Structure 1
């Protein structure tokens, strides 16, 4: 993927994008990230006439154009939970979070995800009977006190680059079944090389997504005390992890979400985020059903250049 800003007016920017199939796009991106126009010469203009791969190429070009404006001009053109820098900021905050705070913020999410497989755990959410057969997925938004400009101003590099390959390798190869898990190792690494002070302001309640008998997605919303989008949103499937393992699971999910942000723009993520595992739920579906993507979500898949985390 290659992009170049070719114009600016009172409405936003014109961006020329050449995609991975060498198709040229001209995309108008508003200052807040809205796509105001999109011309291209390689795919059908009518969406129903496109293949999945062609449709993905159109979407990738749009996401990459918005990302290019964000990086080159500093406008907040990406929605918060789809901005890899925001997700990285949340990951940094989680790495420095005290264990007591982790339990305070995420105990409900942990108990709900393990209640499907642990008879000794009572599910804290009152959900429809039989939902465990409908493939539930649980989301929880995480909100930082700092805004994006503050996050980026505190760092020499973009937040997504502040956690280097060595740190990610240590985190994803640790034994998550012991006290020496993702968070304790992360804290030790950051103590050796302080990065920034980021603070979690709060979290949403737990939202539940599942597929009903007709095949439609249904969402049961949890409480949310904020009137803005979260900086990142955990998206977790049922598991049987104990609490140390669950903390690893949350961190791995955010690492894989950062990966998905880049894959969704048609570019390889930075080397430290080339990790296999489940990230964003919508991309998990694409990796499973679309032939144009490897199985990035499958930690047992053989994807050149990508590594699995510790055995799950």
Structure 2
């Protein structure tokens, strides 16, 4: 992907963009980030006649155009949920939270996630109670649910506030819905990022924090991939990021399986390394370098027990 601005005035920006198939796109974007014109040879004008790959490549060009204009002009055209630079700022702020701050902001999300393992003999949940009952109209297994929480930064780049726990689930095949549990007001603006996680058996807040931080790292990867770009090296990681992109990776031929921690994609790796709630000395006693078991298998007892 590459682009050049060919015109700019008070109403917006015009640019020419060359996509990864060397097709030339002509786009107009207003100051709010809305596409007001998009013409390209090689992709049908009628969306109903486009292939799935053509539809996604058309969307990639629009995402990249908004990103490019935001980088090159004073216009704030990039959507909040596709802003890799902002996501990185949130990721750093989240990683710096103390245990008490984590508990204040993400304690309910932590408990909601861990509550799914109350009957698992290998996970010491400590009798934790589920803050919010699962919706009665949810279908599928108990763990087939996505938990989200929105984060807001202040002018100094610190976390100013968070939403309540957001529960996203299926009510029918192909039909999802969302329930919010906002118990306190949030800033009247778009969030700066939103963590999106499946239930995980972390029994300590520090590795749970690292789980959230890694999710944002994968989301940054998604931002770049969704614009038709190769991510910078530090974001060439494997694992679930944004749920909407996980679906694309699963079903669109133009994408690889970046969500899959075991995927064999050159240059990409699974790099989730949570902080363990034990000392270095204790850690040394748990790991046997000569063992045939994976490092995860040797350490999961420390992650999932108190």
Determine if the TM-score, normalized by the shorter chain, exceeds 0.5. Answer: yes
* Correspondent of 1:299 among 240, 261, 264: 261
Per the alignment, residue 198 of structure 2 pairs with 237
Q: Which moved more, 1:75-84 or 1:258-267?
A: 75-84
Per the alignment, residue 291 of structure 2 pairs with none
- Find the aligned partners of 2:175 and 2:68 in 1 and give their Cα distance: 34
| Secondary structure in structure 2 of the residue aligned to 1:141 | strand
Q: Does 1:213 align with 2:172?
A: yes
| Secondary structure in structure 2 of the residue aligned to 1:298 | coil
- Find the aligned partners of 2:198 and 2:52 in 1 and give their Cα distance: 25
Contact 1:118 1:240 in 2 (8 A): no
Contact 1:24 1:41 in 2 (8 A): yes
Report Cα offsets for 1:203-253 as digits up to 9, x if no partner: 000111111124311111221522211100001111112223211110100
Contact 1:81 1:232 in 2 (8 A): yes
Per the alignment, residue 188 of structure 2 pairs with 227
- Find the aligned partners of 1:238 and 1:47 in 2 and give their Cα distance: 37
| Secondary structure in structure 2 of the residue aligned to 1:101 | helix
1:158-177 → structure 2 map (5 Å cutoff): none
Per-residue deviation, 1:280: 0.5
- Find the aligned partners of 1:238 and 1:95 in 2 and give their Cα distance: 20
Q: Does 1:284 align with 2:270?
A: no
Gaps of 5+ in 1: 147-196
Contact 1:81 1:229 in 2 (8 A): no
Q: Does 1:133 align with 2:141?
A: yes
Q: Which moved more, 1:222-231 or 1:296-305?
A: 222-231
Per the alignment, residue 212 of structure 2 pairs with 250
Gaps of 5+ in 2: 120-126, 273-295, 301-306
Per the alignment, residue 303 of structure 2 pairs with none
| Secondary structure in structure 2 of the residue aligned to 1:116 | helix
* Cα root mean square deviation, aligned: 1.6
Per the alignment, residue 131 of structure 2 pairs with 124
* TM-score normalised per structure 1: 0.80
- Find the aligned partners of 2:57 and 2:113 in 1 and give their Cα distance: 34
- Find the aligned partners of 1:33 and 1:95 in 2 and give their Cα distance: 30
1:1-312 → structure 2 map (5 Å cutoff): 1-119=1-119, 120-129=127-136, 131=138, 133=141, 135-146=144-155, 198-223=157-182, 224-243=185-204, 244-310=206-272, 311=296
- Find the aligned partners of 2:106 and 2:33 in 1 and give their Cα distance: 31
| Secondary structure in structure 2 of the residue aligned to 1:115 | helix
Per-residue deviation, 1:78: 1.1
Per-residue deviation, 1:130: 7.3
| Secondary structure in structure 2 of the residue aligned to 1:221 | strand
- Find the aligned partners of 2:23 and 2:87 in 1 and give their Cα distance: 30
- Find the aligned partners of 2:246 and 2:53 in 1 and give their Cα distance: 16
Per-residue deviation, 1:273: 0.5
* TM-score normalised per structure 2: 0.82
Per the alignment, residue 286 of structure 2 pairs with none
